[in-house]
Amino acid sequence: MMTCEEISKIYLFSILSRSAMKTALIRDGELSIEELPIPSLAHGDILIEMKACGLCGSDIEKIRGEYNVSPTIGHEASGVVKEISVNVTGIEEGDRVFPHHHVSCKSCHFCRTGSDTMCKSYREFHFDPGGFSEFFRVPKWNVKQGGILKLPENMSYDQASFIEPTGCCIRALRRSGIAKNDSLFVVGAGPIGLTVLQLAPLFGIPNVIISDVNPKRLEFARRHGALVTLDPSNEDISAVIMKETKGVGVDCAIIASGNPKAVRQGLESIRRGGSVILLGIPPLESSLDYGVERLVNNEVTMISSNAANDGEVRLALDFISKGHIDVDSMITHKFSIESIDIALEKISGGDVIKSIIIP
């Protein structure tokens, strides 16, 4: 028997489900702006009213058909819990939240050995239809595995849209094995590179060198503590880095760009015995043109880092709420769901650092 409360919830939801909502998704390999019915909830699901959703490099690769790990676009979302299904506890309508789009099982071999973002369940569940929607459904799995984080009062929805990408940067720094006072070169000063730059002091790394072709991004990096900023379009990056490090090279390079050339740049800038961390996602079928013997003879460590686990997004929320990362100044542009195509055209040109989509 259902309780009166449960019946009234289902009734309320049936009213919601009759109205339509705007959404941007990929249909037949193309970006499509559509009016769809608000998703129906199954037991254990929740419905979120989106307030902000970051446009990520991986969304753009998905739209261009260059990334096929998951077809859903919009994963850096924040919003208000609009509706909860039966069998949901600890979450209430009206809660301000960050829903994590992927959540691991915490018990399989991958989860137990620190590869929780490789867990089979991690990518199996996702937002429906995606984060670039006025409303989206978060499946029961994510809800019951603790993937709904409540936002502190001082955190805006715009700031909360940075929790997921910041979690990815924290994972990369953790996986890097970087030690206190090591030298770090961040290749690429997009939102990911600039977040790594701002996280570095929290990991005991005071001196960061960063590169990008975009002067606005380099200017941001200088204002946020970069020791040296470099533009590969008019500087010999590895020569400058060798000079800065007295001919040794940096201890670690984090590649915050999907361009395979950036990986090569990192490899040519590290010291012998140094490490390169692959964080940006290269397009499908890209390959690396680099002598394998150089990797071995120079004892190079290459580590990849993909997505973020539960602990990393929780730490990201904590760092953002304490003001350790200047998220507000990274958001340079906001676009509505209908104008997402304009956001895509502008993604990395001119004065854009981070674009977010708002309802």
Residues in contact with Zn ion by CB under 5 A are 56, 104-105, 108, 111, 119, 165
Q: Which residue number, 237 or 277, has a Cβ lying nearer to Zn ion?
A: 277
Residue number, 60 or 267, with CB nearest to Zn ion: 60
CB of 83 to Zn ion, least distance (A): 26
**What is the distance between the alpha carbons of residues 170 and 53, in angstroms, rounded to a whole number?**
20
Smallest separation (angstroms) from Zn ion to the CB of 164: 6
- Rounded to 5 degrees, φ, ψ at 66 are -100, 5
Question: Cβ 109 to Zn ion, closest distance in Å?
Answer: 8
Beta carbon of residue 355, minimum distance to Zn ion (angstroms, whole number): 12
Alpha carbons 159 and 165: distance in angstroms, whole number: 11
Query: Of all helices (H) and strands (E), which one includes residue 46?
Result: strand 46-54
What is the full DSSP assignment across 50-72? Answer: EEEEEPPHHHHHHHTT---S---
The nearest distance, CB 56 to Zn ion, in angstroms, is: 3
Compare residues 250 and 357 and give the one whose CB is closer to Zn ion. Answer: 357
Nearer to Zn ion, 111 or 230 (CB): 111
Q: What six digits make up the tokens of 151?
A: 């936002």
Tell me whether residue 84 or residue 163 sits nearer to Zn ion (CB atom).
163
Query: Is residue 315 within 8 Å of 156, Cβ to Cβ?
Result: no
Length of the chain: 359
| Amino acid at site 99 | P
- In whole angstroms, the minimum distance from the beta carbon of 53 to Zn ion comes to 10
The least distance separating Zn ion from the CB of residue 163, rounded to whole angstroms, comes to: 11
Q: Please provide the distance, in angstroms rounded to a whole number, between the alpha carbons at the two ends of the chain.
A: 38
Specify the residue, 85 or 104, whose C-beta has the smaller distance to Zn ion.
104
Q: Which amino acid belongs to residue 48?
A: I
Q: Which is nearer to Zn ion, 119 or 184 (CB)?
A: 119
Considering only the C-alpha atoms of the chain, give the largest distance between any 2 of them, rounded to a whole number of Å: 75
Nearest to 165 by CA among 131, 142, 114, 120: 131
Distance CA 317, CA 259 (A): 28
Encoding tokens for residue 120? 């089979």
Q: Residue 304 corresponds to which tokens in the numbers above?
A: 């990849």
